[in-house]
Amino acid sequence: MEKETMESLIIPNNLDPKSTVTEKINEFLKTFEPREVSSHAKLVLCFDEKSGAYYFICHLDAKSLAESCDLEATLDGGNDDEIYKLNRDIYEDQSAFKAMEDDALSGRSFEDLVVEYDTSYRKDKPLKVYGGQHRMKAIAKAVKQKASVSHGIRVYFDLSREQKVEIATVNNTSIAVPNDLLDRMREQLIGSELRDWCQAVGLLPRDRDFADKKSPDIPTVRVARTLLVNYFLGLKAREEGLHQPVICKSGGMDENYLEIRKSIDWSDGNLSIMGKEFARLHKTQRERVTERKEDKNAESARKALSMSVVASWAFAAGLFQRNAEYLKHHYALPDSVSEPSDPLNAKALSEARLKGIDPDTYRGLGTRNDSKELGRMLEVFLVLATKATKKKITKELANAAIKSYEAKRATYDADKDLRKI
């Protein structure tokens, strides 16, 4: 049988809070009118056995929260002993926080903001926030522009120093959401076209979604976006000169991808062939490395999915659409060597370098994601399709491609400087 002490609060029979706790609860209920109370419902007192703290869950309107929440809670009511220094500023990526602000402006009701009712300092802001600081910032901004909505809060009462630290720590310690998972969720919001296309061309198995982290066989959304973006960049590029593949951003929307996506014809035959040929390259590369007896390096097996290879291979595929012979050579890479050799020759790429220029720490082609590396890797595919007598990747070809890229880069830089004269 439960007993009622205060008019709006139920205290279960197994709980026996100290008078200091019930006094704080009375003060809170006199100061605020939670939605539950105004609706003639009952609040239920809860007890956290781990911390020994009392709390209940209720809902307050956004205006009350914005006016009463203190985002600079301290242990002793001063400014020198902050509970959560790491949460004083916005450390999430800006796109995620912007989305949170947009949600608040659209009337999103946030839940489980964690506060303590404490009037011992800054009495005009008695709700000391221990969890949900960023949501509170978004709520406060929305209040200035829009009518209030209710948000759920977990209110603690009469906490000791140790309890404050523990609760603040628990509520500010979380498993970070991988960028690849964020990409997948945001792609789902746009539509299923990218996933459907990847399934159709064989990059994804039927009824399988993108990987939510780096995978040896399943591409991430970032891989698929980078493949498409560079294919279309290659289509528009001039045949001669210095070309620059790109890698799509992760953890936030890539503007270049969004712009290109608007005009994609997902049923285009050439686009489909490109996707199928890349899937074939990846499948062959993975099978050759994993099934041979020696040199079964995991990174070599997934070499086709490394971002620099994805970007440069796709750019070349787009560029070669205007030359059937070059395109045929490019797509024939999986057939260039027989078992147990891998078509990308990951070992040769790892050993390629420009003597006297590349540092000892350089791990070869296709291992980094900077613009120089992307340009070098693209040159491998360009040299292979347009100049090589033997249409397979070798260490000699890789080294020649590096020199070719560096020469193009030097010419480009010189021309740029000459135009300034």
Cβ neighbours, 10 Å, residue 360: 5
Element (H, E) at 56: strand 53-61
Whole-number average pLDDT of the chain = 89
Domain membership of residue 113 as a residue range? 3-171
Last residue of a domain, one of 110, 139, 171: 171
Hey, what are 76's tokens?
Answer: 């002793």
Hey, what are 218's tokens?
Answer: 């399943």
Region 156-174 average pLDDT: 83
Yes or no: say if 153 and 115 are a contact pair by the CB < 8 Å rule.
Answer: yes
What are the C-alpha distances in Å from 195 to residues 106, 202, 219, 330, 359?
28, 11, 10, 25, 40
Of 176, 187, 108, 181, the residue nearest 148 (C-alpha):
108
Q: Does one domain contain both 143 and 244?
A: no
Q: What angle do CA 297, 281, 253 make, to 5 degrees?
A: 90
Q: Does one domain contain both 297 and 319?
A: yes
Whole-number pLDDT of residue 276: 98
Give residue-wise pLDDT tens across range 55-96. 999 999 999 999 999 988 876 665 544 443 334 444 445 566
Whole-number pLDDT of residue 173: 63
Which residues neighbour 405 within 8 Å (Cβ) at sequence distance 6 or greater? Answer: 375, 376, 378, 379
Question: 361 falls in which pLDDT band (50, 70, 90)?
Answer: confident
Q: Does one domain contain both 212 and 119?
A: no
Q: Does one domain contain both 306 and 410?
A: yes
Q: Does one domain contain both 94 and 130?
A: yes
- In this predicted structure, which of 98-112, 237-251, 339-353, 380-394 has the lowest mean pLDDT? 98-112
Q: Does one domain contain both 166 and 216?
A: no
Strand 127-131 to 53-61 pairing: unpaired
Q: Does one domain contain both 126 and 192?
A: no
| DSSP H helical ranges for 111-254 | 133-143, 161-171, 179-190, 193-201, 221-236
Question: 260 falls in which pLDDT band (50, 70, 90)?
Answer: very high
Total count of domains within the chain = 2
Q: Does one domain contain both 10 and 70?
A: yes
Of 157, 7, 137, the residue nearest 65 (C-alpha):
137
Hey, what are 38's tokens?
Answer: 């105004």
Give residue-wise pLDDT tens across range 335-360. 999 999 999 999 999 998 988 788 77
Whole-number pLDDT of residue 98: 78
Last residue of a domain, one of 171, 193, 215: 171
Question: 133 falls in which pLDDT band (50, 70, 90)?
Answer: confident
What is the rounded CA–CA span in Å between residue 28 and residue 100? 28
- In this predicted structure, which of 38-42, 70-74, 115-119, 301-305 has the lowest mean pLDDT? 70-74
Bond into 340 cis (ω within 30) = yes
Q: Is the pLDDT of residue 388 over 70?
A: yes
Q: Is the pLDDT of residue 312 over 50?
A: yes
Whole-number pLDDT of residue 76: 66
The model carries a pTM of: 0.68
| DSSP H helical ranges for 71-178 | 94-105, 133-143, 161-171
Last residue of a domain, one of 119, 141, 171: 171
Q: Does one domain contain both 212 and 286?
A: yes
Question: 406 falls in which pLDDT band (50, 70, 90)?
Answer: very high
Question: 112 falls in which pLDDT band (50, 70, 90)?
Answer: confident
Region 171-198 average pLDDT: 82
Stronger pLDDT, 383 or 169, i.e. the higher one: 383
Whole-number pLDDT of residue 147: 57
